[in-house]
Amino acid sequence: MSSERRPISHPLRFDRYLGIDYSGAATPESRLPGLRVYEARASRTIELQPRDGGRHWSRRALTDWLAGELAGADSLLVGIDHAFSFPLRYFEEHRLEQSWTSWLADFAEHWPTNRAGITVEDVRRGRVGRGTRRSGQAQWRRHTDLLARAKSPFHFDVPGSVAKSTHAGLPLLHELRQLTPRPHFWPFDGWDPPRGSSVLAEAYPSLFSRGYPRRGRTPDQHDAYSIARTLREADERGTLGDAFSPRLTQELRAAAEIEGWILGLPAPD
């Protein structure tokens, strides 16, 4: 790959930028061709392979590896392609406290999709867990979904759905939230992450993947590549601050602090 280096006139906020195109297929330990990880640094963006030499990542291997990377000395900006929270309607219907931290723990308890041998469909169909007590409707969408024209995190069984990857990924996010020191989960831990911290944020590659040539990458590879490269280039341009603090109305900002927001999605006009 040719060099992507650009002259930079300001210090970068992060050392490395990871783009993850997620998959909710099969079990946490299954090797998944749809689960892809790219890393962007100063001069290039490359695909990362599992450390054990396997051809594909599993969700369990990726989570364990990411936990180790987040505990290291480098500051990371990690963009993951699944919803980090649910619409306010979900909180209201299930009479839940509007706290992202307590909700994430509640969801992981009801949807134990991070446990070995368990699929999203096992929980969804009531064979294990208590997912039927914490389900939602396909028409429920977050404010950020509406603005990005993204599907609901409850819209299963359709092309382009993020429902399965979201329901598989959230309990593993809960695991990462237990790390010490804890990484910054944006925007739930605050809109402006402290300098030097590692940050995990929701990404939506459809916003920017068309801006890069495919060059033989599969759609999953290209989505992960586009996330990583976009994050790095935003830092190089000095626009990450605007991405972290979109100019939302007070009402919309309050909702996004529970529902989440897609990093880089501009505020509505």
Question: For residue 99, what are the CA distances in angstroms to 136, 212, 256, 262?
Answer: 18, 37, 11, 18
Q: What is the pLDDT of residues 67-79, one digit of tens each?
A: 999 999 999 999 9
* Mean pLDDT for back-to-back runs of 10 residues, the chain (269 residues): 58 96 98 98 92 93 98 97 98 96 98 98 97 97 97 94 97 97 97 97 96 96 98 96 96 98 94
For residues 186 and 260, what is the distance between their CA atoms, to the nearest angstrom?
Answer: 8
Six-digit token pair at 23? 């998959």
Mapping DSSP onto H, E and C, the string for 42-91 reads CCCEEECCCCCCCCCCCHHHHHHHHHHHHCCCCCEEEEECCCCCCCHHHH
Six-digit token pair at 200? 């995990």
- pLDDT at residue 269 in the model: 83
- pLDDT at residue 196 in the model: 94
- pTM score: 0.95
